[in-house]
Structure 1
Amino acid sequence: MDIKSLSPSTGLREPSMLTLTPHKKIIHSKNHARRRTQPSDQISVGIIGISGYGRVMLKSLQTAARSEGLRLVAATVINQAEEKAVCDPLRESGCALFPDYQSMLKAHGDTLDLCVIPTSIHLHKDMSLHALDGGCHVLVEKPLAGSVADANKIVQASQQSGRFVTVGFQDMFSPATHSIKEFLLSGALGQILSIRASGSWPRGQSYYSRNNWAGRLTCDGMDVFDSPLNNAFAHFLNLALYFAAPSLHDMARVAKTAGHLYRFYPIESYDTANVHLLTGEGVIIDGLFTHVDTTKIDPTLCIEGTSGRLIWAHEKESVAYDSQGNELRRWTLDAEEGSRQHMIREVLTFLQGGNRPHFGAESALAHVEAVQKIRTDLEIEEVIHKPLRDGKMRAEWAPVDGLFQQLVDVSNSRSVVG
């Protein structure tokens, strides 16, 4: 299937007739959500895991603690001997350490305002449900869950418990992101026709062997769908879904898919994606991402409208142009840690009685649905044992120099790239 077959003019039902997974619009409302107050009036926080990405989130929380009125009171660390250099200062600060999250929530669940879950994808559902059941609000790393079924369980538990679940798509909390969306909705670029999201971040054997779920479709019987679209580049697919939506607080839903999923490395999932998505409103989203090229190409989004375009460059800037190429507006984008601090600040403001975070589990469902639909609709194409153009066989973990550009050149071809 090529991109032309995604055009609404080829018989795809009108958006109003599409059967899409229902989602709840995020409404900005006052919700004085704190159920308890520390003597120092600080927000009490627990974190599950301090290794891997957990280390990044721990440092972000510690940074926020210096100015944002939070106190880290509990942490789950399953490898305390290995993490002694981190655990000792935590103990000295008064943070209680636990070997598993169940014991942490049992001991502190009734005193925690927020449970932070920067863990493996397949663990998000169970950990979030336990935290919500214990009365905590939740900040869980992206994606929300490994499957739509698991994500829906989190959404339902959040609604039933009255506790909020925030998902760690930190770019969604950047003021620049909101400003760009308002600019798009103003009609300055006319009708939005398409969004192209692309990037190349080299990842090799060490990346895929760092844990028991990297590059896997399932782990311990639970869905993971680990892939560029569900992990490293998930932020940019999610942003495309946000920018393609017709209102400020909505996410676009994917109605139809085409394209290719490639497996170059000896993994279970795919490491390269060249996909074409059609939203319910008729916006085409192209996603071209790989971990196999030798060259790092930071992600960009190119938003095409009937009257101009907008180029978004990761951690750099975003610039809008009219149809004649004249600059209309420019935004400076936050670095990753800056966006993460915006996210933490928004969650803490809510817990102190402010507005609900504008991006929660209901919104994050759109990304989970898109990833699952892509995986369901498209087969993974095995290319790890195909010969290179010079006839030589490529080693299992050998990167492919120039792959990103090859994918651009043959984006809708069934030809084997490499």
Structure 2
Amino acid sequence: MDETSFAVVGAQNFAAEYISNIRSLGGDGVGLAGVVITDQTAEGERARELRRDGIRIFDSYEDLLRNGHRHVDVIGLPTSIASHAELSIAGMTHGYDVLLEKPPAPTVGELDAISRTADRTGRFCSVGFQYLHAPSIRRLKRELLDGAIGDLEAVACQGSWPRSNAYYERNGWAGRLVHRGDVVLDGPVNNAFAHFLQNMLFLTGEEAHETGTLTEVTAECYRANPDIQAADIACLTATTDGGVDIDFYVTHVPPERRDPSIVIEGTEGIAEWRYSGDTTIRPADGEPISFDDGDVDPGLEVFRRTAAYERGDVDALYCTPETTREFVTAVNGSFESSGTVVQLPDDAVRTEETDDGTVRRVAEGIDELLDEAFERRVQLSDTGAEWAEPSSPVDLTGYEQFTPLS
């Protein structure tokens, strides 16, 4: 088997996971050819370790673009959200294929520019929404297309992942809507829980590799942590042009962790996909069908699929800028709908110390409020929460440009 050689931009934080994943797939058609390390004083030991293993170290992205062609097939970009468009466009323009970490871009205009560059250059951009590569999601989509629960009517997801201050201190853009003049739109919808909104959109698509097309979105964004710009509580309701309702309820300030699950309702049954990959389809007439991801790690499948496509072994990528356009549209529309991130009053938030010595915020009663909103498929302002503020729907038909944050 020929090997697809990757270069990774960065060596810390999520870039370290990229490096680990690629190296773990050695002998499986995936190889690590290079790493960009711009600060080789602070990261000198890491650079020396990689060099000892025969991996080339590039001292800048420009160095990689100029000098990597003999060694590198695909550039991996586990970089800041605001940098995604610029770096992926530069990579493809210089003749490289690109694996871009999610979310693909903060605005739909930037995402469209990535797509145009791929078309113009003939290079590809694979997007690292790892759970879109999960066998359970792929099979669930096939079962839905085959009519396992009839016509789709609604898809809903709820999830609660606590995040301490350390999460927001890991880099300069975490928890920011704008960083150094660049739009970021960080938050639970566009970052930690982004996988699950993308999966919901994918499941509503009427073709194997397509997502549903949104016509309208309404969203409310709230903040319990006063030290960030972004939301840490969000609810989003949307509708596809096929008439499927999408409802999404997520938070980073719950009392405890509750992993996300997706519930799919059809005219002839119901299905549920869990974060673990455990999936059950319950037709109205017939026995339940259950399956999971088996021994497959979706995070590794991102690299396997990208490499297989680069070699011509498969005819389609699982996730591209086109696949993710409705996701970015939903994110942009949600900010236009909410208009602002509402700060919770002090008496609605408590502070707890975490095991790592930092602190985290907990919104009082948030689990019960999100449970009610999820069960009723309504916004938080419809639950009677005193601090909640209603928002207005945004028409997403023909959506092409995000209105910048004021």
Question: Shared fold (TM-score greater than 0.5)?
Answer: yes
2:192 is matched with which residue: 209, 217, 232? Answer: 232
Aligned with 1:153: secondary structure?
A: helix
1:17-51 CA distance string (max 9 Å, x none): xxxxxxxxxxxxxxxxxxxxxxx953222110121
Could you tell me how far apart the structure 2 residues matched to 1:80 and 1:277 are? 46
Query: How far has the Cα of 1:334 moved from its partner?
Result: 5.8
Which sections of structure 1, spanning at least 5 residues, go unmatched? 1-39
Q: Structure 1 residue 185 and structure 2 residue 145: aligned?
A: yes
Give 1:282's match in structure 2, choosing from 243, 248, 252: 243
101-110 or 283-292, larger mean C-alpha shift: 101-110
CA shift, 1:352, in A, is 1.8
Q: Give me the TM-score of the superposition, normalised by structure 2.
A: 0.86
**TM-score of the pair, normalised by structure 1:** 0.84
Match of 1:298 among 245, 259, 271: 259
Other structure's SS at 1:115 match: strand
Aligned pair 1:158/2:121, yes or no? no
Structure 1 residue 248 displacement after superposition: 1.4
SS state at 1:363 partner: coil
CA contact (8 A) 2:126 2:321 kept: yes
Q: Is the 8 A contact 2:370 2:380 kept in 1?
A: no
Give the alignment's Cα RMSD to 1 decimal: 2.1
CA contact (8 A) 1:300 1:313 kept: yes
Aligned to 1:54: 15
Q: CA deviation at 1:401?
A: 5.2
1:15 counterpart residue number: none
Unaligned runs of at least 5 residues, structure 2: 352-358, 389-406
Inter-CA distance 83–183: structure 2 relative to 1 (3 Å threshold): same
1:350 aligns with 2:320: no
- The reply to whether residue 116 of structure 1 matches residue 76 of structure 2 is yes
1:98 to 41, 58, 62: 58
Q: Does 1:203 align with 2:203?
A: no
Q: Is the CA contact (8 Å cut-off) linking 2:6 and 2:33 kept in structure 1?
A: yes
User: Secondary structure, in 3 states, of the residue corresponding to 1:345?
Assistant: helix
Deviations 1:219-270 (A, max 9, x none): 2222211111110000000000000112212111221122421111121121
* 2: CA distance, partners of 1:193 / 1:49: 43
**Which residue does the alignment assign to 1:43?**
4
Whichever residue aligns with residue 56 of structure 1, its letter is: E
Q: 1:245 to 1:385 in 2, by over 3 A?
A: same
Structure 1 position 85, deviation (Å): 4.5
Following superposition, the deviation at residue 161 of structure 1 comes to 0.5
Using the TM superposition, name which of 67-76 and 152-161 deviates more.
67-76
1:323 alignment partner in structure 2: 284
Deviation at 1:170, TM superposition (A): 1.2
For residues 210-225 of structure 1, what are the structure 2 equivalents within 5 Å? 210-225=170-185
In 2, are the aligned partners of 1:68 and 1:348 still within 8 Å (CA)? no
Residues 204/244 of structure 1: CA separation in 2 closer, same or farther (3 Å cut):
same
Deviation of the 1:187 alpha carbon: 1.2
Indicate how the Cα distance of structure 1 residues 386 and 75 shifts in structure 2: closer, same or farther if over 3 A, else same: same
2:369 corresponds to which of 403, 406, 414: 406
Classify 1:259/1:351 alpha carbon distance in 2 versus 1 (closer, same or farther; 3 Å): closer
- The Cα offsets for residues 178-226 of structure 1, whole Å up to 9 and x where unpaired, read as 2111100111201111111110000021111211111111222222111
Q: Distance in 2 between matches of 1:237 and 1:244?
A: 11
> Counterparts of 1:413 and 1:345 in 2: how far apart (Å)?
40
SS in 1 for 2:324: helix
Structure 1 counterpart of 2:339, from 366, 379, 390: 379
The change in CA–CA distance for 1:321 and 1:104 in structure 2 (over 3 A counts) is: same
Q: String of CA shifts for 1:97-129, please: whole Å, max 9, x gaps.
A: 123211221121454211011111011111101
Counterparts of 1:394 and 1:43 in 2: how far apart (Å)?
50
Contact 1:403 1:417 in 2 (8 A): no
Deviates more, 1:315-324 or 1:299-308: 315-324
* Contact 2:30/2:303 (<8 A) preserved: no
The Cα shift of 1:377 comes to 1.6
* Residues matched between the structures, number: 372
1:143 counterpart = 2:110: no
Structure 1 partner of 2:386: 416
**Aligned-residue offset at 1:307:** 1.1
Check the 8 A contact 1:406/1:417 in 2, yes or no: no
Q: Distance in 1 between matches of 2:268 and 2:10?
A: 47
Contact kept, 8 Å, 1:319 with 1:331, in 2: the verdict is yes
For 1:358, give the aligned amino acid: Y
What is the CA distance between 1:380 and its match in structure 2?
Answer: 3.2
Equivalence for 1:34? none
